[in-house]
Amino acid sequence: QSVLTQPPSVSAAPGQKVTISCSGSSSNIGNNYVSWYQQLPGTAPKLLIYDNNNRPSGIPDRFSGSKSATSATLGITGLQNGDEADYYCGTWDSGLSDSYVFGAGTKVTVL
């Protein structure tokens, strides 16, 4: 069971918007920045969002991140077929584990 909770899947039609939630606690999201990773089928993960809401160079502004208290959200607007992938949130957890933690991942399906 992951320390960070994500929905297993979300779906929408091309051009629509999806949001993915990531719920944690004060020992992780509540006191640290959140990052998001995209993993296309059969490939390595790629950094999508860092420091809650910043995009690395080359990531389109269709992808956005936000954080409030102990939860974070990834938004994807103008959904494209190429966005079909697994998405993971991650942050450091300074609780009992004192380690980096990932959510279990959310599969985005483009209908």
Structure tokens at 109: 């399906």
Measured over the CA atoms of residue 7, residue 37, residue 69 and residue 26, the dihedral's sign is positive
CA angle in degrees (0–180, nearest 5) for 102-44-14: 85
- Site map 39..58 versus other proteins, x via CB under 8 A: x---xxxxx--xx----x--
Of 14-22, 58-66, 71-79, 88-96, the window that binds other proteins (rule: CB under 8 A) is 88-96
Q: Please identify which residue in the block is written with the tokens 């779906």.
A: 11
- The size of the interface with other proteins (CB under 8 A), counted in residues, is 30
User: Which residues contact other proteins (rule: CB under 8 A)?
Assistant: 2, 31-33, 35, 37, 39, 43-47, 50-51, 56, 86, 88, 90-92, 94, 97-105
